[in-house]
Chain A
C-alpha cells in the first residue's frame, strides 16, 4: 500500500515538472523578442538590456530553466514588469480570494446538489424529480459568461438584493459563487440521483427494509454513505472546471482573484505574472487531484491494491 501512494506522489511530482516546463516555455514562444514585446519596440536599448538581465534572458536556456525552477520552488516568481514589485504578494492575495470563491462555490454545489439529488431519487418519476432533472440540464448548458449577467440582472439590478460586482460587501461573494457553482451543482445532482437509485435497489437496502427500518433512516445510513465515495471523485474532477470557470467569473464580477490577475496581466503584457498565474492554477488542480486520489484510496478499501 505504501508503494502505491509513493507512485501517485511521484507521478504528481513529474506532472509538476511538466507544468513548470510548459509555463516556462510561454515566454520563449512569444513571437519575436520577448523584451521588445513587453516594453514596446520604441523602448530605450538600456531599458531593454536591463529587463533582459533581470529576466535572465541573456543566459543560455538550460541555465535559465534551472535558475527559474529553483526560484519557483522557493516561492519566488520574480518582479512584475509594470509595477516593479514582487509578484509573490499579489499572487498570494489573489490565491486567497480565488480559493475562498472556489470553496464557497464547492459548498453550494455539494449542499444543494446532494439535497436535490436525494429528493430527486426518492421521488423518482414524479413532477419534483422532473423539475430537478430538467433544471440541472439547464444549469449544465448555461455558460458562466451568460449565467453571471443573468444573475446580476435579476438579483442585483431588478430586485436589488445583492451588490452587482466588486468585493466591498460581505455579500459580494454570493453572486460569483453561485455563478461558479451551478454547473457543478447539476453534475452533483445527476450523480447523486443515479447512484442513489442504483443503491436503493440493492440487496442490502432490501434487507434493511425487511428489518423494518424507516425509509429516511435507510437513506441516511446506507445510501448516503455509499454515495459519498463517488462524490469525492467528482469533487476532484470538477475542481478544475471551478478554477477555469473562475477566470471568467472573476473578470465578470471584478473579483480580485487569480483569474482576474491573469486576464489583466495578459492585457498589460506583464508576462511574468501570466506565467505565475497559470502555474499556480495548474498546480492547485494537480494538488487537489492528488489529495482526492489519496483520500479515495483511504476511504474505499477495494481501491488500495488497485
Chain B
C-alpha cells in the first residue's frame, strides 16, 4: 500500500488514477472484468442450456407440461429485474459460486420463453410436418429441425442477456451482495467510489464509464446481429 498514491488523480503512470488503497484503478478494472467475465460465462451457459431444454420440451410436447412451464415462467417474471437474484444472494453466503447460482435462478426464464415460442412456431411448419409423416423420431425432429432454427434468435437473446447480466452482477456487488472486498468487481468498485465522490470524482467516473461502455458495446453488438439476421420479435 502506497500512502502517497491514495486516490491520486490520473497521470501518465496510472491512467485512471488510484483507488482508496493506492491501487491502480485501470488494473483493478481489468481484474474486475475477468471476475465478471467468469461469472457471466457460467451464468449464460447454465441458464441458456436449462432454459432451452425446458422451452423446447414445453413447446414441442405441449399439454400439462407446457401449462406448468408457462405458469412457472410467468411466476418468475413477476419478480421484477434483479429482485429474485437479490433474494437468493441474500440467503446464500457471498461468493463466486453462489453469485452464479443467484443470477442463474432468474436467468433461464428468458431463454425458456424464447425457445418455447420458436418451437411452437417451427413445429407447425410444413417441412417439419413432412418429416414427421415420413416417420422421423422426436429426437430427430428436435435436433435436426427445431434446434437449428432456434440458434440465431438464441444468440441474439444471449447477447442482450449478457448486457443485462453485466449490470445485474455489478448491481449485486454494488449492494454488497456479490463478490466481497479483496476480490475486484466493478459493482464493488462503484460502491467504494461513491464514498469518495466528494474528494475524488475520477474514481467513480472511470469505473462508471467502463461499465457503461461495455454494456453499450454488447448492446450494440446485439443490435448488429439482430439486423444482420433479420429477427422478428417473437414470444
| Chain B residue with Cβ nearest A265 | B90
* Contact between chains at A143 and B87 (CB < 8 Å): no
Residues from chain A with Cβ under 8 Å of B82 in the complex: 244, 247
At the interface, yes or no: A243 with Cβ under 8 Å from chain B?
yes
Residues A244 and B80 in contact in the complex (CB < 8 Å), given A146-B190, A157-B198 = yes
Give chain B interface residues in 169-184, CB to chain A under 8 Å.
Answer: 170-171, 174-177
* Contact between chains at B171 and A26 (CB < 8 Å): no
At the interface, yes or no: B142 with Cβ under 8 Å from chain A?
no
Q: How far is the CA of A157 from the CA of B207 in the complex (A)?
A: 19
At the interface, yes or no: B187 with Cβ under 8 Å from chain A?
yes
Residues from chain A with Cβ under 8 Å of B170 in the complex: 143, 145
At the interface, yes or no: B79 with Cβ under 8 Å from chain A?
yes
| Chain A residue with Cβ nearest B89 | A266
At the interface, yes or no: B235 with Cβ under 8 Å from chain A?
no
At the interface, yes or no: B122 with Cβ under 8 Å from chain A?
no
Q: How far is the CA of A29 from the CA of B194 in the complex (A)?
A: 33
Give chain A interface residues in 227-248, CB to chain B under 8 Å.
Answer: 239-241, 243-245, 247-248
Residues A19 and B78 in contact in the complex (CB < 8 Å), given A143-B212, A157-B198 = yes
* Nearest-Cβ distance from residue B3 to partner chain A, whole angstroms: 26
Q: Determine chain B's interface SS by DSSP, over half rule.
A: helix
In-complex Cβ contact of B71 among A18, A31, A282 (8 A): A18
At the interface, yes or no: B6 with Cβ under 8 Å from chain A?
no
| Chain B residue with Cβ nearest A269 | B90
Q: How far is the CA of A146 from the CA of B174 in the complex (A)?
A: 10
* Best-surrounded residue of B79, B204, B211, B219 (most CB of chain A within 10 A): B79
Residues from chain A with Cβ under 8 Å of B81 in the complex: 240-241, 243-245
In-complex Cβ contact of A141 among B72, B74, B83, B212 (8 A): B212
* Interface size band for B: 35 or more
At the interface, yes or no: A150 with Cβ under 8 Å from chain B?
yes
Residues A146 and B87 in contact in the complex (CB < 8 Å), given A240-B80, A241-B81 = no
Residues A149 and B194 in contact in the complex (CB < 8 Å), given A29-B91, A143-B211, A251-B175 = yes
In-complex Cβ contact of A153 among B78, B80, B204 (8 A): B204
At the interface, yes or no: A22 with Cβ under 8 Å from chain B?
yes
In-complex Cβ contact of B197 among A149, A243, A247 (8 A): A149
Residues from chain A with Cβ under 8 Å of B208 in the complex: 143, 145-146, 149-150
* Interface size band for A: 35 or more
Residues from chain A with Cβ under 8 Å of B151 in the complex: none
A interface footprint on B119-154 (CB within 8 Å = 1, 0 otherwise)? 000000000000000000000000000000000000
A interface footprint on B88-104 (CB within 8 Å = 1, 0 otherwise)? 10111100000000000
* Nearest-Cβ distance from residue B189 to partner chain A, whole angstroms: 11
At the interface, yes or no: B47 with Cβ under 8 Å from chain A?
no
| Chain B residue with Cβ nearest A17 | B75
Q: How far is the CA of A278 from the CA of B80 in the complex (A)?
A: 10
* Nearest-Cβ distance from residue B213 to partner chain A, whole angstroms: 8
**A153-B204, A244-B80 are known contacts; what are 6 more A-B pairs with Cβ within 8 Å?**
A31-B91, A142-B212, A146-B211, A149-B208, A266-B177, A282-B78
7 pairs of A and B residues whose beta carbons are closest in the complex: A244-B81, A240-B80, A146-B208, A18-B75, A266-B90, A141-B216, A244-B80
Which chain B residues have a beta carbon within 8 Å of chain A's beta carbons? 71-72, 74-75, 78-83, 86-88, 90-93, 167, 170-171, 174-177, 187, 190-191, 193-194, 197-198, 201, 204-205, 207-209, 211-212, 215-216, 219
Residue contacts A-B, CB under 8 angstroms, 29 given:
A18-B78, A19-B75, A22-B75, A22-B79, A22-B87, A29-B88, A30-B91, A31-B92, A143-B167, A143-B211, A144-B171, A145-B174, A145-B208, A146-B209, A146-B212, A149-B194, A153-B201, A153-B204, A157-B201, A241-B80, A244-B80, A245-B81, A248-B171, A251-B175, A274-B87, A274-B90, A278-B83, A281-B83, A282-B83
